[in-house]
Amino acid sequence: MNASGTAEILTENGGKAPAKDAPQAIRLGVIGATGYAGRELITTLAHHPDVRITRLMSSGRQEKGAFPIEKTHPALKDRTREGQVRSCEPLDLDNLSRAAVDLVFLATPHETSHEIVPLLLARGLRVIDLSGAFRLKDTSAYRRWYGFEHLVAGALEEAVYGSPELNAEAIRSARLVANPGCYATSIILGLAPLLQAGWVDLASGIVCDSKSGASGAGRAPTQKLHFAEVNENCRAYGLFSHRHLPEVLQVLGLEESCFTFTPHLLPITRGMLSTIYLRLAPSPGISADAILDLYGKFYAQAPLVRVYERGTLPEVQAVAHTNYADVGFGFHASTRRLVIVSALDNLGKGAAGQAVENMNLMCGFPQETALA
């Protein structure tokens, strides 16, 4: 912030200049800008022709006062665009009003989102919350899964689960979008076509074994995420108890007893693979071709979901550093066993990319703008 109280803004290649008048551009705030999802939001939005970031804020940082965002994200050096703020300030609700911002991305801890979303909505701002604070419909579920008491039942009710493939219409007019969890996105996109079609033998149960890169666990240093503890390692965690489980059950309408989900930590930075095991219900018409056709039709209008032909399978490398979710499968016809493989970048389609996709829907832009 400079002396006159307006954020310092930059010309294309880094020189200082007065903010250009860009009346049609949507003005954005990114809260939680110092984390990995925050960085990804800034990087992705830099390629969007119709928006402008006017507020960068961090939550929970020790630093007092504003600092250039490249200080925490050196990759962003000189990359902020004309008319875009590059100074990151501590979270300050007074500086988040309709005068400066139209829509706010929250890449903040669950508890922070829970606290400030109602205040932002009250100011007339639209909000896309990347935390889990508004994904579940049942306030009491927050006690069990998130360990805090949810006090904003109204916002929970209003919140739209931000899965563009399932809820595009509701997202377009939403004030509050609860951006899905990364694991949840990969699972939901892998299972939705089959479940909607009623093809799954639910009595046999569904097993989902997911593997995620470490950036999904955030940027705060911990023993478990220390380099030498993750490198050359792979481990399961959160058996029967991961927070993305209840949102999967809620969105897909599944019982907890028939869905087993185990997340694993991979020694990679970005990307996630879910391997999903189930048995199809007996039916004369079911074949690999029919399954492929079902997925193809379900995602025909989804610009960021790619369905794989038979004989090829999604893998992390095909989606890392992209905003796509890839889905493929192998089918053992005689026993009706189906293995679905679903891949995405946990920071892309699993977080910031899907958030921008939701923003595109909310603002009437083509859904894949800045993402494909």
Q: What is the DSSP letter of 283?
A: -
Instruction: Pick the closest to residue 268 from 347, 339, 324 (CA basis).
Output: 347
Residue 188 tokens read as 């939901």
- Of 88, 182, 234, 258, catalytic: 182
Stretch that binds its own copies, among 16-24, 105-113, 156-164, 203-211 (CB under 8 A): 203-211
According to CB under 8 A, which one of 20, 98, 310, 321 is a site residue for its own copies? 321
**Calculated CA dihedral for residues 248, 250, 256, 258, nearest 10 degrees:** -70
Is the Cβ of residue 98 or residue 235 nearer to its own copies in the bound state?
Answer: 235
Our finding on whether 12 is near its own copies (CB under 8 A) is yes
Question: Measured from the CB of residue 329, what is the shortest distance to its own copies in angstroms?
Answer: 9
According to CB under 8 A, which one of 40, 102, 326, 357 is a site residue for its own copies? 326
Size of the residue set binding its own copies (CB under 8 A): 75
According to CB under 8 A, which one of 22, 202, 315, 363 is a site residue for its own copies? 315
To which residue do tokens 């869905």 refer? 259
Q: Pick out residues in 86-125 that bind its own copies (CB under 8 A).
A: none
Instruction: Pick the closest to residue 103 from 365, 370, 362, 323 (CA basis).
Output: 362
CB 345 within 8 A of CB 270: yes
Question: Measured from the CB of residue 145, what is the shortest distance to its own copies in angstroms?
Answer: 15
Question: Measured from the CB of residue 123, what is the shortest distance to its own copies in angstroms?
Answer: 33
Instruction: Pick the closest to residue 349 from 316, 313, 312, 305 (CA basis).
Output: 305
* Binding letters toward its own copies, positions 159-198, x by CB under 8 A: ----------------------------------------
- 177 forms beta bridges with 128, 160
Residues 6+ positions from 49 with CB-CB distance below 8 Å: 369, 370
Q: Pick out residues in 56-85 that bind its own copies (CB under 8 A).
A: 74-75, 77-79
CB 57 within 8 A of CB 90: yes
Our finding on whether 368 is near its own copies (CB under 8 A) is yes
Backbone angles phi, psi at 131, to 5 degrees: -80, 180
Question: Measured from the CB of residue 71, what is the shortest distance to its own copies in angstroms?
Answer: 9
Stretch that binds its own copies, among 131-139, 147-155, 178-186, 328-336 (CB under 8 A): 328-336
Q: Tell me the angle at which helices 288-298 and 182-197 cross, rounded to the nearest 10 degrees.
A: 120
Concatenating the DSSP letter of every residue in 148-162 gives S----HHHHHHPEE-
Q: Pick out residues in 19-38 that bind its own copies (CB under 8 A).
A: 36
Our finding on whether 310 is near its own copies (CB under 8 A) is no
Task: Please state whether 122 falls in left (phi above 0), alpha (psi between -120 and 50) or beta.
Answer: alpha
Our finding on whether 306 is near its own copies (CB under 8 A) is yes
Is the Cβ of residue 53 or residue 128 nearer to its own copies in the bound state?
Answer: 53
Instruction: Pick the closest to residue 348 from 187, 246, 215 (CA basis).
Output: 215
Stretch that binds its own copies, among 162-170, 189-197, 280-288, 317-325 (CB under 8 A): 317-325
Q: Pick out residues in 226-285 that bind its own copies (CB under 8 A).
A: 226-237, 239-240, 256-257, 260, 262, 264, 266-271, 273, 275, 277, 279
Which helix (H) or strand (E) segment holds residue 256: the answer is none
Stretch that binds its own copies, among 87-95, 104-112, 119-127, 201-209 (CB under 8 A): 201-209
Our finding on whether 215 is near its own copies (CB under 8 A) is yes
Alpha helix ranges (H) inside 253-351:
288-298, 316-319
Our finding on whether 337 is near its own copies (CB under 8 A) is yes
88 is catalytic: no
Our finding on whether 204 is near its own copies (CB under 8 A) is yes
Question: Measured from the CB of residue 361, what is the shortest distance to its own copies in angstroms?
Answer: 16
According to CB under 8 A, which one of 202, 209, 250, 281 is a site residue for its own copies? 209
Which helix (H) or strand (E) segment holds residue 118: the answer is helix 110-122
Dmax (CA) of the chain: 74
Q: How far apart are the first and last CA of the chain?
A: 34
Which residues are catalytically annotated? Answer: 182
